[in-house]
Structure 1
Amino acid sequence: MLSYSSYMLTAVAALLVTCNALTKYPGIPGLPSIPGLSGRDDLQGQTHLSGLPKSLNTEVHKVLNLKHRLSRLKGVLVLKGKIREVREKIFASNGEKVDFASALASCEDARGTLATPMNEEENKAILGIVKEYNQYAYLGIKIGEDAGQFKYLNGIPVNYTKWYQNEPNGKRTEKCVEMYNDGSWNDKKCNLRRLTICEF
């Protein structure tokens, strides 16, 4: 069962994706393209959009108002260290410490997956959440059954790493990967309790 925090993070992530789409694509699907809406948060002082029926005008205002409110909510969450955004990815944590399987299930229930840094910028974003909670976190990386190579959860071999000195050293007995509070990685057993950080 998902906690209230998980539901809120899911809702925020879904709404942020919608907001990003509205900003990038000024035409709203199903409606004619509306000049002048690109990048605007609201339409203060404008009572009607020319060329739209009044009913659609109201709906457009509702969507733009929602976008504005979500933008403010995202700002609050970013300031509190609960989410980080890097290009198209959003990283978020509910603060729970669980084993790897439970962390993955929690993220999947929220329509995401475990945080998986693909480059230095994403690693730093995840590190920001790790530091906020001062807890090590599992990453979406596991050792493969074949040849002991570390892979992303989709089975593709890892192409970006940030291993701590002399890591990985678990010799296939430590099949999961955790992030330390300095951003470096360590291979670890999957049954320990670590911070859950999801990506959307």
Structure 2
Amino acid sequence: MPDCFIRWEVTHHKDNSNGYTWEEADTICKKDGKVLAVVDSQEKWEKLKYVITGGNRYTAPADVYIGLQFTESINNFTWSNGVQASWTKWYDNEPYFTDTRHCVRLDIYTDYSFRTSDCSNRHHFACSYE
């Protein structure tokens, strides 16, 4: 396979109706040899959205954590693979309250746009690997 093609696999974890904190989700992904989903392009966002909804854009059980987190030391958002974010899908007026909301979720009520969240909030999550 040519170097210009990247295989990106993503899984949606929704097996706990109470959801998971960001840290719990991160730990589960790492146990599987993955990271919280790195959604760093329009194509990856569309693929994850499809996986979450099962192809039906009106069906979604809950918000979904992704691997984007605010890093205070650089005053910017970094993906769970350590790469600083360059592509994002923020909702209007986001990122919001980064002094307390360091984690990011896909919000089901705003067409799966990126929304900041307190990391102790409980959501479903997605893992990915390349």
Match of 1:7 in 2: none
Cα distance in 2 for partners of 1:87, 1:128 equals 18
How far is the alpha carbon of 1:130 from its aligned partner? Answer: 2.8
CA contact (8 A) 2:70 2:98 kept: no
Q: Pick one of 10, 27, 46 that aligns with 1:105.
A: 27
CA contact (8 A) 1:140 1:152 kept: yes
Q: CA RMSD in A?
A: 1.8
Q: What code does the residue aligned with 2:40 have?
A: M
Larger Rg: 1
Report the structure, 1 or 2, having the larger helix content.
1
Cα distance in 2 for partners of 1:143, 1:188 equals 10
Match of 1:89 in 2: 8
Provide the identity percentage: 22
The 5 Å alignment of 1:50-199 reads 87-96=6-15, 97-132=19-54, 133-181=60-108, 182-199=111-128
CA contact (8 A) 1:142 1:177 kept: yes
Structure 2 runs not aligned, ≥5 long: 55-59
Q: What code does the residue aligned with 1:127 have?
A: K
CA contact (8 A) 1:148 1:172 kept: no
Q: 1 or 2 for the larger relative contact order (CA 8 Å, sep ≥6)?
A: 2
Q: What code does the residue aligned with 1:183 have?
A: Y
Structure 1 runs not aligned, ≥5 long: 1-23, 25-85
Q: Mark the CA change 1:191 to 1:175 in structure 2 (over 3 Å): closer, same or farther.
A: same
Q: Mark the CA change 1:140 to 1:171 in structure 2 (over 3 Å): closer, same or farther.
A: closer
TM-score (norm 1): 0.54
TM-score (norm 2): 0.80
Q: Mark the CA change 1:89 to 1:169 in structure 2 (over 3 Å): closer, same or farther.
A: same
How far is the alpha carbon of 1:93 from its aligned partner? Answer: 2.1
Tell me the matched-pair count: 116
